Amino acid sequence: MKRCSIVIHSVSGNCYIIGSCLKEALEKRNVDVRFYRVEDPDLHIWANREETANDYYEEIIELPVVTPEKLLKSDMIILGCPTRFGNVSAEMKTFLDSTVDMCEDRALEDKFFACFTSCKYSLCEGSRALDSMLFWAQSNGMIHIPFGIHKSMANCHQPSQGIAHLEGNESLVRPSAQFGEEIDLYADNLASYIQE
């Protein structure tokens, strides 16, 4: 069975929710999914300050921390993190920077790639963070599987690069049932590349 690794950074829990839903959807499609987090030494501080960060704190820290070597065992890599000032979070950026040797060696070349984000202010802001993750994948020679454009889905305003969730200024808006339809649609497409 081919392996998919979902690698997240999550503070408010929204990227954890999206990653969990995507993992479940892919497993229903007979994909071997591994769920990881990037290192965040400040997550406990955020959990003490903000209720939304506290909601999923235990679940997030129970995830194993990803290493560059774990990516080598994957046929598909999916990245997800919060949008910060139109970019990936510092913690995700730190992890991506740790893979520079893999980029130079082309170790991830021809692996499939997808991405998602959760953003506060606009999907345009989230689209920029998706572009940053996509640039990393392209630099590694990976094959991007976009979310695409889906006119058949009512009220689907997703960026074509991946999935973006609009969580609001206080991160209080959780992914909804409608968002689940988008995840299912994306999971169908992603799984079709690595199902056996």
As for how many domains the chain has, the answer is 1
Domain span including residue 27: 3-194
Q: How far apart are CA 142 and CA 133, in angstroms?
A: 11
Beta bridge partners of 81: 117
pLDDT in tens, 138-180: 999 999 999 877 666 655 678 889 998 888 777 778 887 667 7
Going along 91-151, which residue ranges are E strands? 112-119, 143-144
Q: What is the CATH number of the domain that holds 116?
A: 3.40.50.360
Q: Decide if 118 contacts 15 (C-beta within 8 A).
A: yes
pLDDT in tens, 59-107: 999 999 999 999 999 999 999 999 998 899 999 999 999 999 999 999 9
